[in-house]
Structure 1
């Protein structure tokens, strides 16, 4: 029996025994290396839901993780015991119409780790040991920490949002929200050739972190006049999951520009700004999870083209999961908090 972290409802997180999973021929058993607590994990912990995804049975959260290989199935060829791996939390079917046209992040039969989007829920990786299919693993031989590898998934979200924004070479990009995803979006915009990256938030520490990873300018959106946030950028990316951040994007995007919504907004009482979008000919697009960008993220990390270490605030053992969640929820003290397993 091993230890697992389960959320039973809002602020009801329990450390419980976890049964050993069977190992199919193409499966790999892993020991948890590091696993980041992300915004959706926090929503499950604090509210028992993320947008329309409501916890209906105990859920093991966690979809940003790295691991160390313990055992392999008889048909596994790409990894061996002792290897460290990055773990892609997406498990698309590969057969539906979306998968066949290369948009597997929109798969009709997606199994996304640590998510209540389907029932029974897809259990995640906040546990000491777990089994993954070989195709979800990328072996990494370079001298890079398990904590950094666990950042591949949030980096892939930033990369996907920027990919949905279209060509950014020479453009001004505004990122609304300077949490982990906002900071990863800053990094991605820089990789895409943005000439200027502006970040807005309502707290000082996140803005400092965004500046550290490459933002040219940071703005406390709650401390400036609305007129100061008008038509600043060619592209705006909503990375906070907040209606105020969306309003900032609507104001800050120049006529004919594009807004990309990456954050998950509240499920109810959203007034869609159709006339604003129409009259100013704005493109409004969504960015959901990631596809091939996960592989890009692992490559950027392992070659040190991207350095995510400034965003890694703390690592706590799985046994201190409640403490870790509370720390992750405090934006004045943390950016990325990870759970780790040393056994």
Structure 2
């Protein structure tokens, strides 16, 4: 295959995001070429753009961003594995390498050997998928049912994160659920909880826009994040904490019913967090961490296709890839946007 280039969104460092040509490598056995249709901008992408790092994952070289993508196979694997050319696909962004560190075999998301598209956790970095054309192992590709809206299917990856988080709470049938932080992951958690039969879903956020999105996907009422008394009065059986800051976690603990479950999916900064953790002891709360997902993306795709997971309103903006800088700026403003997509 003759080497050629494609257009990609590349982070070179803090405040240095470029839309530029990059080389497309030749696929090896078990690898397919995918033409990307849409890519969703994630919080990690924003961190690489703004700070050149996500926590301890620091850019040491230019890196293509993006891991929430859908597209179409344009060249199937040469060894005959995987999906045929012309198949619309979503991408599971994780691959796994052997490690001697112990983790539950049925929870590979906890393995330190995981590589994620668009991650600077290791060097050389794992290139992302914000490009018009990408080469991926066939095991990362998930066929999309015919007729599915690719703009909505672009939410499959973050919806799988939400699905994984909500699953930690067990059966939600007839229960009262509190979601703290109604950005894209929080809004998707609302939708998943609604599908799971929650009787009441209270969504919390600082801004009116994400609260309105949460209502559109299933929240029965919303609260301003500054109304701490109202949040504490929710008395929720299950709380999904998706704000990723200590104030949100404090609200989650305060809003949980005695004996309730708090699922923490929002990534807190490293270091000590000033939270009244005594509530968890005296109320016998069950605190559960939730990190990424495993195969839940398959359930999400099926639920999107059959209409039981209504998440379309989470997408608020779509920008052509050439306007990526504008797209990132809008995505960074939670007061005006939900999930922002790049169109390739």
Q: Which interval holds the TM-score relative to the shorter structure?
A: over 0.9
Q: How much has 1:27 moved relative to structure 2? A: 0.4
Are residues 1:206 and 2:210 paired? yes
Partner of 2:242: 239
Distance 1:126 1:54 in 2: 19
- Which of 333, 336, 341 matches 1:338? 341
Equivalence map 1:125-164=2 (5 Å): 125-164=129-168
Distance 2:23 2:312 in 1: 34
Q: 1:76 to 1:317 in 2, by over 3 A?
A: farther
Partner of 1:318: 321
Q: Indicate if the aligned counterparts of 2:192 and 2:309 stay in contact, CA closer than 8 A.
A: no
Q: 1:93 to 1:228 in 2, by over 3 A?
A: closer
Partner of 2:24: 20
Deviations 1:257-304 (A, max 9, x none): 111110111223423544332222111111000112111111111222
| RMSD across aligned positions (CA) | 1.9
Distance 1:258 1:162 in 2: 11
Deviations 1:56-82 (A, max 9, x none): 322211111001111122223441222
Q: Secondary structure at the match of 2:24?
A: coil
Distance 2:282 2:133 in 1: 53
Deviations 1:182-229 (A, max 9, x none): 01000111222211111111111110110010001100121x253652
Equivalence map 1:254-269=2 (5 Å): 254-269=257-272
- Which deviates the most, 254-263 or 54-63? 54-63
Partner of 2:279: 276
Q: How much has 1:324 moved relative to structure 2? A: 0.7
Partner of 1:109: 113
Distance 1:56 1:268 in 2: 23
Instruction: Specify every segment of 5 or more residues in structure 1 that has no aligned partner in the other structure, as ranges.
Output: none
Are residues 1:42 and 2:20 paired? no
- Which deviates the most, 152-161 or 38-47? 38-47
Q: 1:227 to 1:128 in 2, by over 3 A?
A: closer
Distance 2:199 2:263 in 1: 18
Are residues 1:249 and 2:252 paired? yes
Q: How much has 1:48 moved relative to structure 2? A: 2.1
- Which of 80, 100, 103 matches 1:76? 80
Q: 1:228 to 1:265 in 2, by over 3 A?
A: closer
Q: Secondary structure at the match of 1:19?
A: strand
- Which of 58, 61, 66 matches 2:65? 61
Instruction: Specify every segment of 5 or more residues in structure 2 that has no aligned partner in the other structure, as ranges.
Output: none
Q: Secondary structure at the match of 2:274?
A: coil
Q: Secondary structure at the match of 2:177?
A: strand
Q: 1:100 to 1:263 in 2, by over 3 A?
A: closer
Partner of 1:31: 35
Deviations 1:121-143 (A, max 9, x none): 21111111111111111122421
Partner of 2:122: 118
Are residues 1:178 and 2:178 paired? no
Are residues 1:290 and 2:278 paired? no
Are residues 1:88 and 2:92 paired? yes
Runs of 4+ aligned structure 1 residues displaced above 3 Å come to 93-100, 271-274
